[in-house]
């Protein structure tokens, strides 16, 4: 493949309402505190599949960067040549993994706003690419049921029993089992509305939408800037009730002291540390339990930091780490195989990775969690939400089913209340 020859220009601009520039039915957004971006249009789409999908995308990306002329007068995350990606959980998925380069990016970094335009060499001026902002269309409620019905409950419990039997046999130490639920979307539904709701209500998360895949994820796999690496591992979940501080305090203590949660969390943390070891130096992590508070749950967390060795970029790190025990299990390869046998659906990008990478190789990749995928249908569109929970020896399968319900609440509420 001969890479397109792109001309990229980034400059500071006046304040913008970023979300109003996003496409209403196919938004591309990345929203964080003091660091947000909205992509408009699509000038390049790189795709890959199979077990080497991340490495393949990385090679294509680096070829595209080498051929580009980049004039970046901003030098901020998301400025310059930047692509946005959605990576599948498994190489066997029927869904492609993608990197998308928008024609225009509007970004905000630490209170300042910038604009990037991307054109092919020899094409007309990029000025006519700048879209007009459009107000959000009032949202029509979508009833996505996060509580499983009787058949769904029986199905999940049967799969969980099979998974636990495999753990008891010694083949696995941990496996993450997921379930799905779907609903129809109204014609031409403005997806910016639920994205705005998620961003307002889950400020500690990254609200994202890339290629029809959207949500508000709490877990960062890779954040790389100037050879500095950071990651946050989440494993272990309990309900959170903002109106009951005593119960929340007790729940936090459970996250810190439960032998089952300690075991599940240690598997997830160690899988990341082991995967990172060949690519980084000076690796460190918090030894004492850390609890992260979200509007509806508490998570056990570990923050990992390191220095990236020369010649590695954020996609190299992602390729080494994905999938982690937090979303697959331990041993990871065996857990992925069993997930493919037990779950009767393609996870696609759920528990995969979403994020961005720039011309320097810096970027950020988060787990595709608290999420849903929009699919086109003959009659319009359908939305499918997925959530899972980790099983280890001695897990209560009814509690794990309840955990999947709690994890679907953000998307369910966003589709109802936006």
Residue 320 confidence (pLDDT) above 80: yes
List Cα–Cα distances, 303 to 118, 226, 228, 232, 332, in angstroms.
35, 18, 13, 5, 21
Cα separation, 337 vs 319, whole angstroms: 18
Report the pLDDT value the prediction gives residue 60, as an integer from 0 to 100.
Answer: 98
Give the H or E element holding residue 390: strand 380-392
Cα-to-chain-centroid distance, residue 48: 18
Give the H or E element holding residue 391: strand 380-392
Contact 60, 48 (CB under 8 A): yes
Render 85-143 in DSSP notation, one character per residue: EEE-SSTT-SSPEEEEE-SEEEEEETTEEEEEEEEETTSPPGGGGPPPP-PPPPPPP--
Angle between helices 259-276 and 245-257 (to 10 degrees): 60
Angle between helices 332-342 and 150-168 (to 10 degrees): 150
Report the pLDDT value the prediction gives residue 251, as an integer from 0 to 100.
Answer: 75
Q: Residue 76's CB: how many other CB atoms inside 10 A?
A: 18
What φ, ψ does residue 110 adopt, rounded to 5°? Answer: 50, 45
Cα separation, 72 vs 76, whole angstroms: 9
The pLDDT tens digits for 161-209 are 999 999 999 999 999 999 999 999 988 899 999 999 999 999 999 999 9
Q: Residue 120's CB: how many other CB atoms inside 10 A?
A: 12
The three-point CA angle 358-364-367 to 5° equals 140
Residue 361 confidence (pLDDT) above 60: yes
Report the pLDDT value the prediction gives residue 256, as an integer from 0 to 100.
Answer: 86
Least confident of 82-86, 220-224, 236-240: 236-240
Handedness of CA 281, 31, 413, 353 (dihedral sign): negative
The pLDDT tens digits for 322-334 are 998 889 999 999 9
Q: Output DSSP code: residue 238.
A: E
Q: Please state the length of the chain.
A: 418
Residue 123 confidence (pLDDT) above 80: no
> Is residue 245 classed as helix, strand or coil in its secondary structure?
helix
Report the pLDDT value the prediction gives residue 130, as an integer from 0 to 100.
Answer: 76
Ordered domains of the chain (ranges, CATH): 6-124+144-417 (3.60.120.10)
Contact 114, 10 (CB under 8 A): yes
Report the pLDDT value the prediction gives residue 49, as an integer from 0 to 100.
Answer: 97
Residue 242 confidence (pLDDT) above 80: no
Buried b / exposed e over 336-365, threshold 16 CB at 10 Å, is bbbbeebbeebbbbbbbbbbbbbbbbbbbb
Give the H or E element holding residue 316: helix 314-321
Cα separation, 396 vs 175, whole angstroms: 13
Residue 22 confidence (pLDDT) above 90: yes
Average pLDDT for the chain: 92
């Amino acid at each position: 493949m001969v890479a397109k020859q792109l001309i990229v220009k980034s400059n500071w601009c006046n304040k913008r309402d970023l979300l109003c520039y996003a496409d209403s039915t196919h938004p591309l957004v990345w929203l964080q505190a003091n660091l947000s971006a909205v992509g408009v249009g699509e000038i390049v789409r790189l795709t890959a599949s199979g077990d080497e999908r991340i490495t393949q995308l990385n090679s294509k990306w680096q070829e595209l960067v080498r051929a580009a002329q980049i004039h970046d007068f901003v030098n901020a995350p998301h400025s310059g040549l930047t692509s946005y990606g959605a990576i599948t959980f498994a190489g066997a998925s029927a869904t492609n993994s993608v990197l998308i380069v928008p024609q225009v990016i509007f970004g905000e970094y630490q209170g300042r706003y910038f604009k990037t335009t991307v054109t092919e060499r020899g094409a007309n001026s990029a000025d006519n690419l700048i879209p007009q902002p459009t107000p959000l269309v009032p949202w029509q409620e979508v009833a996505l049921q996060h509580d499983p019905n009787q058949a769904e409950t029986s199905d999940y419990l049967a799969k969980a029993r099979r998974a636990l039997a495999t753990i008891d046999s010694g083949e696995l130490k941990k496996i993450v089992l997921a379930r799905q639920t779907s609903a129809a979307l109204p014609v031409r539904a403005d997806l910016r509305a639920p994205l705005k709701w998620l961003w307002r209500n889950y400020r500690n998360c990254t609200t994202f939408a890339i290629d029809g895949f959207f949500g508000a994820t709490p877990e960062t796999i890779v954040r790389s800037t100037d050879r500095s690496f950071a990651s946050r591992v989440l494993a272990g979940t309990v309900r959170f009730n903002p109106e009951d501080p005593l119960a929340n305090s007790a729940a936090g203590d459970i996250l810190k002291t439960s032998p089952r949660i300690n075991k599940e969390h240690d598997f997830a943390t160690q899988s990341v540390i082991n995967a990172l070891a060949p690519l980084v130096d000076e690796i460190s992590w918090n030894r004492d339990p850390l609890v992260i508070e979200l509007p509806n749950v508490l998570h056990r967390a570990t923050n990992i930091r390191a220095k990236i060795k020369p010649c590695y970029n954020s996609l190299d790190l992602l390729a080494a780490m994905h999938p982690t025990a937090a979303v697959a299990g331990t041993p990871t390869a065996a857990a992925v195989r069993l997930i493919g046998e037990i779950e009767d659906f393609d996870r696609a990008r759920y528990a995969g990775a979403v994020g961005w990478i720039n011309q320097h190789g810096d970027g950020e990749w988060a787990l595709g969690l608290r999420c849903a995928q929009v699919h086109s249908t003959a009659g319009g569109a359908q939305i499918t939400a997925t959530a899972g929970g980790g099983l280890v020896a001695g897990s209560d399968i009814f509690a794990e089913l309840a955990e999947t319900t709690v994890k679907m609440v953000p998307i369910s509420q966003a589709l109802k209340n936006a």
